[in-house]
């Protein structure tokens, strides 16, 4: 069987297009969708933003590939095909379409963001998250305003939170901008010097989850790690009651 040039080009392009449109499942993306109360809010925003990006990407690829295959200059014809720039309706269309895409993404992001940052009544615990160069300090207000757990770049701290109970986090910094980020919980909020940010969420799943600083904040930024340890409410109570002696013990050594 013989193929003409156009058919041969399609054989090369079609598999590439298929690879480009391959969708990742939730399992592939690493987001379970219910690790925290924030996942429940933002997971649909994440999913639909990627679907919208996929539609725009495929449409754009077709617009590029189609003329490259079907509107090539004829072998013995003029050097350039008929030029169609300054087409006002087309220019208006490709100004308005991106505007509506950005406006749509902006609108849904603001709606979800307001849902996340609006304080709720049912907060059970409060923890202050202080980012500093280059680690984290967690103050458990349940234990007392001066009871802190402080990490170092060599020994990243553990943030212990109770499963199924809403916690309010006060996000602060005394030096430069840091980013309090827990990828599994689909949340990040910046620690800004001179600004007090607030965030609330409930951790739903027991286990350890990596956390890190996601704003480049200096030499040891890459070591600004922490672990979120979600424990049962009873284990959390025990942790809080043990915290004070532990801190005192640590300061003596």
Quick check: 126 and 171 in contact, CB under 8 A? Answer: no
When binding is defined by CB under 5 A, the residue of 199, 224, 230, 240 that contacts Cu ion is 224
Exactly one of 38, 143, 186, 213 binds Cu ion (CB under 5 A); which one? 213
The sign of the torsion formed by the CA atoms of 42, 141, 172, 170 equals positive
Measured CA to CA in angstroms, residue 97 lies from 53, 62, 91, 93, 106 at distances of 13, 16, 10, 6, 14
- The candidate with the shortest Cα–Cα distance to 188, out of 51, 27, 36, is 36
> Alpha-carbon distance 59 to 64, whole Å?
9
35 binds Cu ion, rule: CB under 5 A: no
Among 178, 184, 230, 236, binds Cu ion (CB under 5 A): 178
Helices and strands (H, E) in the chain, number of each type:
5, 10
For Cu ion, the closer of residues 31 and 136 by Cβ is 136
- For residues 36 and 202, the answer to whether their CB atoms sit within 8 Å is yes
Q: How big is the site for Cu ion, counted in residues (CB under 5 A)?
A: 4
Q: How far is the CB of 130 from Cu ion (least distance, A)?
A: 11
Q: Which of 159, 182, 217, 243 binds Cu ion (CB under 5 A)?
A: 217
Q: In what order do the strands lie in the sheet with 178-182?
A: 158-162, 225-231, 207-213, 178-182, 187-191
Our CB check for Cu ion shows the closer of 199 and 213 to be: 213
Smallest separation, CB 218 to Cu ion (Å): 7
Q: Which stretch binds Cu ion (CB under 5 A): 22-30, 147-155, 159-167, 224-232?
A: 224-232
Q: Assess 171 for contact with Cu ion (CB under 5 A).
A: no
H-run or E-run covering 225? strand 225-231
Q: Which stretch binds Cu ion (CB under 5 A): 2-10, 71-79, 193-201, 205-213?
A: 205-213
For residues 149 and 213, which CB has a smaller minimum distance to Cu ion in the complex?
Answer: 213
Q: Which residues are near Cu ion by CB under 5 A?
A: 178, 213, 217, 224
């Amino acid at each position: 069987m013989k193929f003409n040039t156009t058919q041969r080009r399609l054989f090369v392009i079609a598999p590439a297009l298929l690879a480009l449109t391959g969708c990742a499942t939730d399992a592939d993306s690493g987001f379970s969708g219910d690790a925290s109360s924030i996942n429940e809010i933002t997971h649909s925003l994440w999913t639909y933003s990627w679907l919208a990006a996929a539609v725009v990407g495929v449409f754009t690829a077709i617009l590029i590939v189609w003329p490259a295959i079907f509107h090539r200059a004829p072998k013995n014809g003029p050097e350039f095909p008929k030029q169609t720039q300054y087409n006002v309706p087309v220019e208006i269309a490709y100004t308005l379409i991106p505007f509506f895409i950005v406006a749509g993404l902006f609108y849904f992001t603001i709606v979800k963001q307001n849902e996340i940052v609006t304080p709720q009544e049912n907060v059970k615990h409060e923890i202050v998250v202080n980012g500093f160069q280059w680690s984290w300090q967690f103050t458990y207000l349940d234990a007392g305003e001066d009871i802190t757990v402080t990490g170092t770049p060599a020994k990243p701290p553990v943030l212990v939170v109770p499963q199924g109970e809403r916690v309010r986090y006060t996000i602060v910094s005394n030096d430069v901008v840091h980013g309090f980020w827990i990828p599994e919980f689909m949340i990040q909020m910046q620690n800004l010097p001179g600004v007090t940010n607030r965030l609330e969420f409930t951790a739903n799943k027991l286990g350890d989850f990596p956390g890190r600083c996601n704003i480049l904040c200096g030499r040891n930024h890459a070591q600004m790690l922490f672990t979120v340890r979600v424990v049962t409410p009873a284990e959390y109570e025990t942790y809080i009651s043990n915290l004070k002696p532990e801190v005192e013990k640590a300061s003596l050594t």
